[in-house]
Amino acid sequence: MTARVPVRFFLATLALLLPIACATPDGGPMTGKDLAGAVLGDYSIGGINLGAAVGVAKNANEAYREIPQDEEIEIGRSVSAALLGAAPLTVDAVQQNYVNRVGMWLALQSGRPDLPWHFGIIEAPTVNAFATPGGNVFVTRGLVERCGSEAELAGVLAHEIAHVVQKHQLNDIRKNAKQGLMINLASLKSGGLSGDAARAFARVGLEGYVRGLSREDELEADRIGVVIAARAGYEPYGLVMVLQTLQSLGPGDAEMAFFLKTHPSPSDRLAALEVAMPPSFEQLAEPNPALARYAPVFKPTRK
């Protein structure tokens, strides 16, 4: 089971790589099998000869296809396994269930309500949140501790849901599959990974998380996120409040360093949201005493 998913992810990634094939030395068109053979040789993973297996990846036309949802979900599981290898889930089941209720309720109001959505708090004191293709959303303990209310938590989760709905990470992986795969294959062939293919395949996806998404993708996720939160009945300013809190931490804060490297600055995002959010949103921000349920579970340090 653990081997099957990465191999399929690998094949999906390789299929994306195929259109770069140009021509064989004798001038004939290079097939996917030729390319795979040239790159992979007889490299074998879990008893599967990949050089032969990718011959099934047919032709260049297929490489341009949209990635079907079931493959997107498998890619997301592989990337999630790698992310959770970097930092595991926190052990507080009450908080994990709470985050899944909030997240699923938001996702039901999004453009992709039918994905198998999963939400997790990961054990890291730093501030960050991640989404993978296929509907997995992670938020660090450091960020959850800085959310002062359920509306603020919802603002963060809705931003990540927006990334998944817009397939920002999936498109990023597709775009970078070629380069990432070549690097990983070099490691594989040099024996550096001793046949543990899962690490290499997940890394194709993880490189995007090290680099971060584009500023445009982040600002779009902000705009869509506040709308998802508002559609779910939350007041739409939760994300704004979180960004204000993060802004106050400042660039010298070690817990913010990686977040700031991979995102536009909170000031930049706040300026864009102020322009984008219409005055009519103020009518969607009535106080909701029922959300006082948040405090006993998450014990925020501020209101």
Subset of residues 51 to 80 that bind another protein, contact rule: CB under 8 A: 77-78, 80
Q: Of residues 148-187, which lie at the interface with another protein (CB under 8 A)? A: 150
Out of 51, 233, 260, 297, name the contact with another protein by CB under 8 A. 233
How many residues contact another protein, by CB under 8 A?
108
Out of 136, 170, 218, 263, name the contact with another protein by CB under 8 A. 136
Separation CA 57–CA 36 (nearest Å): 9
Q: Of residues 188-217, which lie at the interface with another protein (CB under 8 A)? A: 198-199, 202-203, 206, 209-210
Q: From the centroid of its chain, how far is CA 166?
A: 11
Q: From the centroid of its chain, how far is CA 143?
A: 16
Q: Of residues 6-35, which lie at the interface with another protein (CB under 8 A)? A: 6
Compare residues 58 and 199 and give the one whose CB is closer to another protein.
199
Q: How far is the CB of 296 from another protein (least distance, A)?
A: 14
Q: How far is the CB of 221 from another protein (least distance, A)?
A: 12
Q: In the chain, which residue ranges form alpha helices assigned H by DSSP?
A: 4-17, 32-40, 50-53, 60-63, 69-86, 93-108, 141-144, 150-165, 168-189, 197-211, 215-231, 238-249, 257-262, 266-276, 294-298
- Of 84, 224, 124, whose CA–CA distance to 164 is shortest? 224
**What does the DSSP 8-state code read for residue 67?**
P
Q: How far is the CB of 9 from another protein (least distance, A)?
A: 11
Separation CA 197–CA 37 (nearest Å): 17
Compare residues 14 and 202 and give the one whose CB is closer to another protein.
202
Q: Of residues 260-299, which lie at the interface with another protein (CB under 8 A)? A: 261, 265, 267-268, 270-272, 274-278, 281-282, 284-288, 290-291, 293
Stretch that binds another protein, among 12-20, 24-32, 175-183, 221-229 (CB under 8 A): 221-229
Compare residues 38 and 210 and give the one whose CB is closer to another protein.
210
Q: Of residues 90-129, which lie at the interface with another protein (CB under 8 A)? A: 90-93, 96-97, 99-105, 108-109, 113, 116-120, 122-126, 128
Contact 96, 120 (CB under 8 A): yes
Does position 251 bind another protein by CB under 8 A? yes
Compare residues 29 and 195 and give the one whose CB is closer to another protein.
195
Contacting residues for 240 by C-beta, under 8 A, at least 6 apart: 155, 226, 270, 273, 277
Q: Which helix (H) or strand (E) holds 119?
A: strand 118-122
